[in-house]
Structure 1
Amino acid sequence: MPNNRLDLLTPENWASYELIDTGGFEKLERFGLFILSRPEPQAIWPRSLSEEEWQRLPNAVFKRDKGSQEKGEWVLRPQMDEKWFIPFQQQGLNLTFKLSLSSFKHVGIFPEQAVNWPYIHQKVAGLPVSNPRVLNLFAYTGAASLAARQAGAEVTHVDAVRQVITWSRENMEASRLDNIRWVVEDALKFARREVRRGNTYHGLILDPPAYGRGPEGEKWLLEENLNDLLAVCSELLDKEHYFLIINLYSLGFSALILENLMRAHFGERPKAEFGELYLNDRFDKRLPLGVFYRFSSI
């Protein structure tokens, strides 16, 4: 039997974020001073707050375009800023994130990922090597990159969207960090080239989307490409001092599927953890927001 265990992980004690209510395929969240309402396909249960409160509380509401699951526009109330900053200060981390209202309902961070940032910071700090090398693939706006960099890692941050790299740089500067290596490229293509070059990393951070496009039109489909990515990453990870964390947000992937994939490519890891990430609202409803698998040599 494998030694790893199925966990449910959720962030705690983050004053700048709160999941207020969920239900009716929507979620009501507070990011710093502002409350946002946006779609959430997994919140299939009834809301706890009244319709009047759902109408009164938000500073901004995301309205999807007709026929689209993702794209739409924000309806803003007076005094709502189009961009603002929030801090994250936990377990030795002191980071600052810029938030902004995108046309794909995202705001610049995924709050459920906050459980991973102290883990990354702790593992980098604990590696018995000078200047540990960390590779963050599908790195988005870089919260994980910042956590690794603040612990002293040499970070390579890879994302296919140049505007997202610019956003990541703003987060780095707001967090008073520097010297992250930015790469605008298809993640799988970059990883394969690193293998050919003989490069390895002490830390790998993977957050692949369900689908996406590279800067030259490369097509990414999680179901088709994840096996190839993990095979390449098994060659990139240092054999002696290492950590790896992968997150998936796709309705077709359970924690057990991810566990099988990771065991196939990385073998049994006695310190491995896997399970679901979730957020708790004020009424103790738990909103599932993806699965994770992580392990380390320390």
Structure 2
Amino acid sequence: MQFYASCPKGVEALLIEELTSLGATNLKEHPSHIVFEGDLELAYKACLYSRLANRIYLCLLDEEINSVEDMYQKVNSIEWSWHFDMQQTFVVDAIARKNSDIRHSGFAAQKVKDALVDYYKDRYEQRPSVDKDNPDYRIHAIVNGRQLKVGIDLAGRSLHQRGYRPTSGRAPIKENLAAALLIRAGWPELSKQGYSFHDPMCGTGTLLVEAVMIACDMAPGLFNPSFSFENWKQHDAELWQTTVATARRQFNKNKLAINNRFIGSDSHRKSLELAKEVIRNADFGDLIELKEQDIRRPKLEVFNEPGLLVSNPPYAERLGEEDEVMQLYRDFGEYIKSHCIGWQAAIITNEPVFAKAMGMRSHKQYKFKNGAIDCQLYLFDVKDENFYKPFDPTVVNPDWDKNLSDGAVMLKNRIIKNQQRLKSYLKQNDVTCYRLYDADLPEYSAVIDVYDDMVHIQEYAPPKDIPAKVAQRRLNEIVRVTSGLLQIPEAEIALKQRQRQKGDWQYQKQSEEEQFQVVNEQGLQFYVNLNRYLDTGLFLDHRKTRKMIMAEAKEKRFLNLFAYTGSVSVYAAKGGAKTTTVDMSKTYLNWAIKNFGLNNIPIYGHEFIQSDCLQWLDEAQGQRTYDLIFLDPPTFSNSKRMDTTFDVQRDQVDLIEKTMNLLDSKGKLYFSNNFKKFEMEKELLEMFEVQEITARTLPIDFQKSRNHHRCWLIQHKS
């Protein structure tokens, strides 16, 4: 008989070893599943004993298919009546990949269902019923290119669901992944040697329960020995009962003989309460000790006996958590070094920098998937010779320039060159907020902006063909080199990934930190927030544009459309203009008002209007006139507050014509946008005097930038 077993990614090799130990033969590894052969007793043992598999399938079909019709015919040809009666309910699950005819898993499942139903209708003029919630049996199909596998799910549920966890609530780690980590950490052998086991951040206790099960050689299926194959026509009830009885007898014997110590601790009382329930359900209360303990203030005594520590510490899954989690790993490292000398240790995490923060050299690493998260298991020998002082990102690393890669050396030299090129310009123009680097080297694709004594780094999303590890290493080098050259601790550098903007995504919050700082620009002051939004509140490439408008603003009526945080309005007001500032965002208008206050500009006589600029333009036609206008629309917007989408290339004629209707006959419109391929429509060139002045408005630090504005001066024809 042929079977196949599915499992989490990274567990395939371990599952092969497990199935082999149960008596499987002719094993073949595939991504996320293993094909193997054996008899009915092996199938029962696999369902009962497997710690690692998700599901075990009896393979009914494993052939190539040439079309959708061919798939239907082959599934229809299976003798389904050998396996199930019409009175029994079923459901079909499918996975489809790399097949041009069958592109969707749902379509594949539908075709398999049709073939199965038609089998019964053709022979018995009746059909079995589908039950998606509680079927008597589950059919599974895999379409991988031209290869089709169809099987019966023997267990009827994922085998990671042992039965000792409450059905409600999400576990931070699934039971079969927990078992895989323990096996990789060497626990099966260490437990036989009498080692103790400790999880100091045990959460709800999954690793503890799985560790006891391995030490007792307990078959996981004993918690809930009820499987779908009991509804199968070929089921051998006597063989199954014998298999269960043998497993139970062996477990009871082993449990009495166990002498290992199992200790779990956590600082969260609610987690410990749930862990107690889980351990009670598993009937391991007499074997596992639980202690409420914060690893930063340990209550447990130093361990003198040999042991294994395995834990799944928290990940930084939300933006802004990195610093807090990094400190947790530093504290965790100190706890292990002080309490577990001579032990083995293993931790799983999603970021290498977290593992490094523990200050221990790992001798082995294994890749795993914890749900959808790419993770790595690190194994440690807890010995003095493997300890080091972890890097502290809250201070400047004195050795930042040691052992740099060739690429990082090139990056360092380029930034130094840029510093030298900009030095005199910055001093002469009283500029302290500027662009230091803009993807000058293609491999290091990011922008580095300086805001007084702060740094803001935006990484451009790397191409899909660049491995994630390589992209992360390069980004780490950008941060390291910038920190060293500017002598700013890495923890104080604001870091964001900049992607292709869609709609109003550029205005979305990037962090929950409400950190506003005041920066200086050419004698004026502005609030910036380097953490919360993709953009900081001050567009540095418009520095010269703002100054040009200030020079022309005296006694003028000034309009700022799509005003953002109102920095151009501040310049115009300081230059002597009465300003009207229009933006759809209340947040940014309030920010603009604060910028006025910061520069001691009374807001009396200045207007701040919260409105969709396109709608406001329609309403202002024939009602208002301005001498000076700054128009800086987004490239594209589909904000929920707008009735329609906006595209600056598509909608430019309507936008500029309506804006020019508000401009005095002798006035000036400065029109700017960030669309590199923008082309002014011929119709506008015929209606108005149009002159591109981008070169005049770009500061020296943006003249080589890959993403800067373009700017036009538009006036009425005389």
Contact 2:653 2:681 in 1 (8 A): no
Stretches of structure 2 lacking an aligned partner (at least 5 in a row)? 1-421, 463-473
Structure 2 equivalent of residue 250 of structure 1: 675
1:66–1:31 CA distance, 2 compared to 1 (3 A): closer
Deviations 1:117-136 (A, max 9, x none): 121111122xxxxx421111
Structure 1 equivalent of residue 561 of structure 2: 137
Structure 1 equivalent of residue 481 of structure 2: 53
- Distance (whole Å) between structure 2 residues aligned to residue 103 and residue 168 of structure 1: 17
- Distance (whole Å) between structure 2 residues aligned to residue 121 and residue 235 of structure 1: 23
Q: Does 1:183 align with 2:609?
A: yes
Structure 1 equivalent of residue 576 of structure 2: 152
Contact 2:562 2:582 in 1 (8 A): yes
Structure 1 equivalent of residue 342 of structure 2: none
Contact 2:627 2:663 in 1 (8 A): yes
DSSP 3-state at the match of 1:289 = coil
Among candidates 34, 42, 58, match of residue 454 of structure 2: 34
Q: Give the superposition deviation at 1:275.
A: 2.6
1:72–1:177 CA distance, 2 compared to 1 (3 A): closer
Structure 1 equivalent of residue 642 of structure 2: 217
Contact 1:157 1:182 in 2 (8 A): yes
1:113–1:193 CA distance, 2 compared to 1 (3 A): same
Higher relative contact order (CA 8 A, sep 6+): 1
Q: Partner amino acid for 2:569?
A: S
Contact 2:460 2:497 in 1 (8 A): no
- Distance (whole Å) between structure 2 residues aligned to residue 143 and residue 67 of structure 1: 25
- Distance (whole Å) between structure 1 residues aligned to residue 544 and residue 564 of structure 2: 17
Q: Give the superposition deviation at 1:61.
A: 3.6
Q: Give the superposition deviation at 1:173.
A: 0.3
- Distance (whole Å) between structure 2 residues aligned to residue 120 and residue 200 of structure 1: 17
DSSP 3-state at the match of 1:139 = coil
TM normalised by structure 2 equals: 0.33
Contact 1:156 1:183 in 2 (8 A): yes
Deviations 1:152-196 (A, max 9, x none): 211110001110001001100001112320000011111121114
Structure 1 equivalent of residue 535 of structure 2: 106
DSSP 3-state at the match of 1:38 = strand
Matches within 5 A, 1:15-34: 15-23=431-439, 24-34=444-454
Q: Partner amino acid for 1:121?
A: M
| Root-mean-square deviation (Å) | 3.5
Structure 1 equivalent of residue 627 of structure 2: 202
- Distance (whole Å) between structure 1 residues aligned to residue 684 and residue 519 of structure 2: 34
1:206–1:67 CA distance, 2 compared to 1 (3 A): closer
DSSP 3-state at the match of 1:106 = coil
Q: Give the superposition deviation at 1:223.
A: 2.6
1:32–1:260 CA distance, 2 compared to 1 (3 A): farther
Q: Partner amino acid for 1:289?
A: H
Contact 1:249 1:289 in 2 (8 A): yes
Contact 1:63 1:75 in 2 (8 A): no
- Distance (whole Å) between structure 2 residues aligned to residue 155 and residue 99 of structure 1: 21
Deviations 1:33-82 (A, max 9, x none): 1012113579xxxx9xx644046555324334999875674699xxxx92
Contact 1:137 1:159 in 2 (8 A): yes
Structure 1 equivalent of residue 521 of structure 2: 88
Q: Give the superposition deviation at 1:258.
A: 3.5
Q: Please identify which structure carries the higher helix content.
A: 2
- Distance (whole Å) between structure 1 residues aligned to residue 639 and residue 431 of structure 2: 36
Contact 2:676 2:710 in 1 (8 A): no
1:14–1:112 CA distance, 2 compared to 1 (3 A): farther
1:87–1:260 CA distance, 2 compared to 1 (3 A): farther
TM normalised by structure 1 equals: 0.74
Q: Give the superposition deviation at 1:251.
A: 3.2
Among candidates 539, 549, 559, match of residue 120 of structure 1: 549
Q: Does 1:227 align with 2:653?
A: yes
Q: Give the superposition deviation at 1:262.
A: 4.8
Q: Partner amino acid for 1:157?
A: T
Contact 2:461 2:497 in 1 (8 A): no
Q: Please identify which structure carries the higher strand content.
A: 1
1:281–1:200 CA distance, 2 compared to 1 (3 A): closer
Structure 1 equivalent of residue 13 of structure 2: none
- Distance (whole Å) between structure 2 residues aligned to residue 74 and residue 194 of structure 1: 36
Q: Give the superposition deviation at 1:287.
A: 4.3
Q: Give the superposition deviation at 1:86.
A: 1.1
1:68–1:274 CA distance, 2 compared to 1 (3 A): closer
Point out 4+ residue stretches in structure 1 off by more than 6 angstroms.
Answer: 65-69
- Distance (whole Å) between structure 1 residues aligned to residue 629 and residue 498 of structure 2: 36
DSSP 3-state at the match of 2:524 = strand
- Distance (whole Å) between structure 2 residues aligned to residue 203 and residue 294 of structure 1: 11
Deviations 1:214-258 (A, max 9, x none): 673333222332221111112111013x121111112332xxx24
1:101–1:122 CA distance, 2 compared to 1 (3 A): same
Q: Partner amino acid for 1:148?
A: A
DSSP 3-state at the match of 2:579 = strand
Q: Give the superposition deviation at 1:28.
A: 1.2
Among candidates 697, 709, 712, match of residue 290 of structure 1: 709
1:40–1:97 CA distance, 2 compared to 1 (3 A): farther
Contact 1:62 1:74 in 2 (8 A): no
